[in-house]
Structure 1
Amino acid sequence: MKKIPRIVPLIASALAVASLAACVAPAPYQTTRYPYQPQAAYPVQQQQQGVYTEYGRVANIEVLRTERPGTGTGGAGAVAGGVIGGVLGHQVGSGNGRTAATALGVVGGALLGNSIEAQNNGPRVYESYRVSIQTDNGGFRAYDVPSPGDLRIGDRVRIDNGQISRF
């Protein structure tokens, strides 16, 4: 009977662990509504040469929460974790101890793989902010931003080419 060198299962285990670790990274938050300006109700004022600069005050800052529902577990994490745990458990001991370590590795790996998959596929909650500005000429603008920064209600601001800055 031909023996497999000890390095082969170790390399296979390392590759399996690396592939599971890649599954843990959360999806990046992306917004397509920046800056938010309802065009029909509040048209952007422009001059002939370029974009009109407006001044105003921050009227309100709202927190917008969006949730992505989870997809649950499909069993792939448990299977991958069980395989990795079994391979790693097989590296420990000899005889009946090796068999017991392999069985414990399969069970522990399956539980861990299922837990990682459930965490990765669980619901996610994202927060963004809607900054409402009352302009000096009586207009009203609302912008969705990932963070309001140092803006507070009542701050004097300048809106230049859709960018809000304290004034």
Structure 2
Amino acid sequence: MKKLPRILSVTASVLAVATLTACVAPAPYTTSRYPYQPQAVYPAQPAPYAYTEYGRIANIEVLRTERPGTGTGGAGAVAGGVVGGVLGHQIGSGNGRTAATALGVIGGALLGNSIEAQNNGPRVYESYRVSIQTENGGYRAFDVPNPGDLRIGDRVRIDNGQISRF
């Protein structure tokens, strides 16, 4: 009969750990492929037909944007406290079990709050603005997630808004 409470507590522990693990999963990111598809063209000029331009890369600058953090809402502390309490309750017997449960709740709450604060913290994103001087003397700028192997001075082709080395 002692096996049933033990199985229930182990199942609750596994469920709580799985819940906290879901909070720690990193945000997905995307990678771009070469040739680059720009996010914006400056100055914005609608292309009435498909055309190809040639030029040289005049400048590549880093654009940094920051998303402010949202802070903690307490869910991480609650989930961490539950997991810590369940795991602490598995240790010892009598007063030792009570002390281990209390320490597990406190430690789990602190750890869960820390994980939530890290996941909800401010994020800094980097993208790149590639400025190209065209053969006709104009300038075009493209915002790309990664310049790849493009360098200042490279000869490039702009084909329907996509940059490729020439």
TM-score band, normalised by shorter chain: 0.7 to 0.9
Q: Which runs of 5+ in 1 are unaligned?
A: none
- Cα 1:110–1:42 change in 2 (3 A) is closer
Deviations 1:111-150 (A, max 9, x none): 1001001001100001000101011112211111110001
In structure 2, runs of 5+ residues without a counterpart are: 31-36
In 2, Cα distance between equivalents of 1:94 and 1:6:
13
Matches of 1:93 and 1:104, distance apart in 2: 13
Larger deviation, residues 9-18 vs 106-115: 9-18
Aligned residues: 160
- Tell me, yes or no, if the aligned pair for 2:82 and 2:105 is still in contact at 8 Å: yes
Partner of residue 141, structure 1:
140
Tell me what 2:33 maps to.
Answer: none
CA contact (8 A) 1:35 1:162 kept: no
The aligned residue for residue 12 of structure 1 is 12
Residue identity matched to 1:20: L
Identify which range, 56-65 or 4-13, moves more after superposition: 4-13
Q: Does 1:86 align with 2:90?
A: no
Matched, 1:34 2:33: no
Under a length normalisation based on structure 2, what TM-score does the superposition of the two structures give?
Answer: 0.88
Q: SS of the residue aligned with 1:15? A: helix
Q: Which residue of 2 aligns with 1:25?
A: 25
Asked if the contact 1:56–1:156 (Cα under 8 Å) also holds between the matched residues in 2, the reply is yes
1:102 aligns with 2:101: yes
* Distance change in 2, residues 1:55/1:103 (3 Å): same
Between the aligned residues of both structures, percent identity stands at 81
Q: Deviation string for 1:79-128 (max 9, x for gaps)?
A: 11011100010011111111111011001101100100100110000100
Cα distance change of structure 1 residues 149 and 135 upon mapping to structure 2, 3 Å threshold: same
* 1: CA distance, partners of 2:57 / 2:25: 36
- In 1: Cα distance, 2:54 partner to 2:164 partner: 10
Alpha-carbon distance, 1:14 to partner: 1.1
Q: Aligned partners of 1:15 and 1:4: how far apart in 2?
A: 16
Contact 2:59 2:130 in 1 (8 A): yes
Amino acid of the structure 2 residue aligned with 1:23? C
- 2-side partners of 1:106 and 1:42: how far apart? 57
What displacement does 1:25 show? 2.7
Q: How many Å apart are 1:10 and its aligned residue?
A: 1.2
Secondary structure of residue in 2 paired with 1:5: helix
1:46-125 map, 5 Å: 47=49, 51-125=50-124
- Deviation at 1:13? 1.2
